[in-house]
Amino acid sequence: MRVYRSIMAGCVTAALALGCCGCASETASAPESDSAPAASSASASGESAASSAAAEGDESAAASQASASDEASSLGDAPTTPDEAYVEVSWLKDHADEVVVLDARSSADFMTQHIPGAVNLHWTDVSNVVEAQQGEPGWAELLDAKTLAGSISRLGIDNTKPVVVYTDTTDGWGEDGRMYWTLREAGVTDVRLLSGGWTQWLYQQGEHASGLDGVDQDVIAQVDTAFVKENADTAVIVDARAPEEFAGETTMGEVRVGRIPGAVSVPYVDLVNEDGTMKTADELDQLLADAQVAKDDQVIVYCTGGVRAAAVAEALVGAGYTDVSVYTAGYSEWAGDPANKVEVG
């Protein structure tokens, strides 16, 4: 209806523009007055041009709205009942870039093969199967709506695109139906079901992808407490925590304050500018030089639990440091063993 009104508005404006053109013509051919004939003609021409431009603008807006409407209508209205929700494989192939595809099978099946671009969510991921055991009250029940919404939102589902759910309909338990119900309970407004599921996708020669192969792609190694002790005399141990944590003035939950003996302080916060961007490689070099860390040093970075440490380690590698590892368990594990010495101050 809005498109129709916009088109009608454009037509009316265009009609008015034609009328103004006519008035302009009559004004131009009328006997010239002694005041400002040229200005009168120019004014009429200006009004005509403005009216024409307005008409073109309205028509352009109408065309844009019509295009958006056509795109929405190509996907069809959101289904209101499950029987209206089924879409064919051919439909999904045509609209793959306009929807979120959700694989409701197990993570193992998903890793083996799945529809390209799909995200994976099994019913057990969003059901009470941890706190309650089978046979106990509440087992397998849906989580509450807010918890469901949080888990589902992390997959990039935000009601801006329809969600198409599929499972292996010939060798499954109807997981797509469970997931349809789950998504609706979480507030997803447009959920579709792939007719024939994974079986039909393969029958109709749909493309498929596999999960990651698990081959390490990063040069940064994860090391443990034993490695830190073995290399403590030769490596530079970098503490990525805040200065007050390094000094032993506070903790982030560790059982003892302090730091690993001999560590130098390179707080993660010092790598970040006030606008949230990371410091340049030259600035990082200066920061590390001030901490007496050289590019050819063996560097072990730690924090509370490997988060800030990983960020600092990646920044070091990006700046050209070649031997960098992360003590992931960090000061939490180090301080947790009374046999490990700590420094404060």
What would the DSSP string read from start to end of 27-63?
Answer: HHHSPPPSS-HHHHHHHHHHHHHHHHHHHHHHHHHHH
CA 238/CA 148 separation, integer angstroms: 40
Report helix, strand or coil for 219.
coil
H or E element: which one contains 280?
A: none
Span between the terminal Cα atoms of the chain, in Å: 72
Torsion, Cα of 88, 93, 98, 99 (10° steps): 50
- The CATH class given to the 82-203 domain equals alpha beta
Low-confidence spans in the chain with pLDDT less than 70: 1-73, 213
Q: Considering the domain 221-336 in this protein, what is its CATH number?
A: 3.40.250.10
Alpha-carbon dihedral sign for residues 197, 198, 202, 207: positive
Question: What pLDDT is recorded for position 105?
Answer: 97
Collect all residues with Cβ–Cβ distance below 8 Å to 271 and sequence separation of at least 6.
Answer: 278, 279, 284, 287, 311, 312, 315
- By the 8 A CB rule, do 268 and 240 touch? yes
Question: What pLDDT is recorded for position 213?
Answer: 66
**Domain extents in the chain:** 2-75, 82-203, 221-336
- pTM here is 0.60
